[in-house]
Amino acid sequence: MDRIMNENSLANLRKPKGKKEGYGHRYTIPQEKIDELFSYIADGQTLKAAAKQANICFVTAKKYYKQGDVKRGIKPLQTRLVVFQEKISESMNVLLEEQRMSRIATVRNLINKIENKLLGEYDDEGNLLEGKEGDIGNVSTRDLERLIKLETFLCGTVKTKDTERKMLTADEIGG
């Protein structure tokens, strides 16, 4: 069985391809579309949903996500996403560190006030000062202890070790 070739087929292949609307050279996706796809993925959408929203075929979106386009110098979106998330994480760490330092300063200030209240504040001659501004109300040594533990935790210098308590028998106590 011989295949009959349409005589216009060869003529159609020789014609230059027309440019498709919204596509680049040889039907490559423009950089703007790839950036749009990346923004949807960075917002937390799945690859399938991001491809649909960016109006890109899922297979093509997956190609750009995994491989990128080496010829055009486009890195894989997966790599770009990791770099993007690392930068966000770094900026969040800076903000958290600033907040932690602010809280440490607040706790240390409270510790000083409680120590002064419990122990009394003295002038240079050793006389007890009374009626200081910024009275913090009724406090106990337990409050001071809790604040000191909080300060230690915020500073991250001491880690607690869980130890098992063993009950002694009467024979062990009697020895």
Q: Which candidate, 79, 54, 53, places its Cα nearest to that of 66?
A: 79
Task: Spell out the CATH class of 15-75.
Answer: mainly alpha
Annotate 53-118 with DSSP letters as a single string: HHT--HHHHHHHHHT-BTTTTBPPHHHHHHHHHHHHHHHHHHHHHHHHHHHHHHHHHHHHHHHHHH
DSSP letter at 155 equals: H
What are the pLDDT tens digits along the chain (175 aa)? Answer: 567 777 777 777 777 766 666 555 556 788 889 999 999 999 889 999 999 999 998 999 999 999 888 888 888 999 988 888 888 888 888 888 889 899 999 999 888 888 877 776 666 776 666 655 455 677 788 888 888 888 888 888 555 555 566 666 767 666 5
Encoded amino acid at 89, one letter: S
Q: Using CA atoms, how far apart are residues 14 and 104, in angstroms rounded to an integer?
A: 75
pTM: 0.46
Cβ pair 30, 22 in contact under 8 A: yes
Pull the structure tokens for residue 50.
């991001």
The helix/strand/coil state of 128 is: strand
